[in-house]
Amino acid sequence: MPYNPLYTASYHFMSNQPSKENAVAYCHNKRHIGRLSRKTMKNHQCLQKQCPFLEKLEHPYWEIKKRKKELAEMNR
């Protein structure tokens, strides 16, 4: 198997992680493992990149995001 630093690097936890109440997702990437807030996720462009390391946590953010998408589709 070819060398892939995302799978072989040691764990480095993200600094300034949000509280469990404010976390909307969790990143399993070994280069920067940890909880993500909406702002951090937007800055890292996790959703735009369709990051395979992203795990959505139970948070109202996802339901709101889903509703906004549905409304946008209905208004087309």
**pLDDT tens column, 13-52:** 666 778 888 899 999 988 888 999 999 899 989 999 999 9
Q: What is the pLDDT of residue 1?
A: 43
pTM value is 0.73
Rounded alpha-carbon distances, angstroms, from residue 36 to 24, 27, 46, 74: 6, 7, 10, 30
DSSP 55: E
Mean pLDDT of 50-62: 94
Q: What is the pLDDT of residue 11?
A: 56
Confidence of residue 55 (pLDDT cuts 50, 70, 90): very high
Beta carbons within 8 Å of 73's beta carbon, 6+ residues apart: none
Token match 């795990």: residue?
A: 55
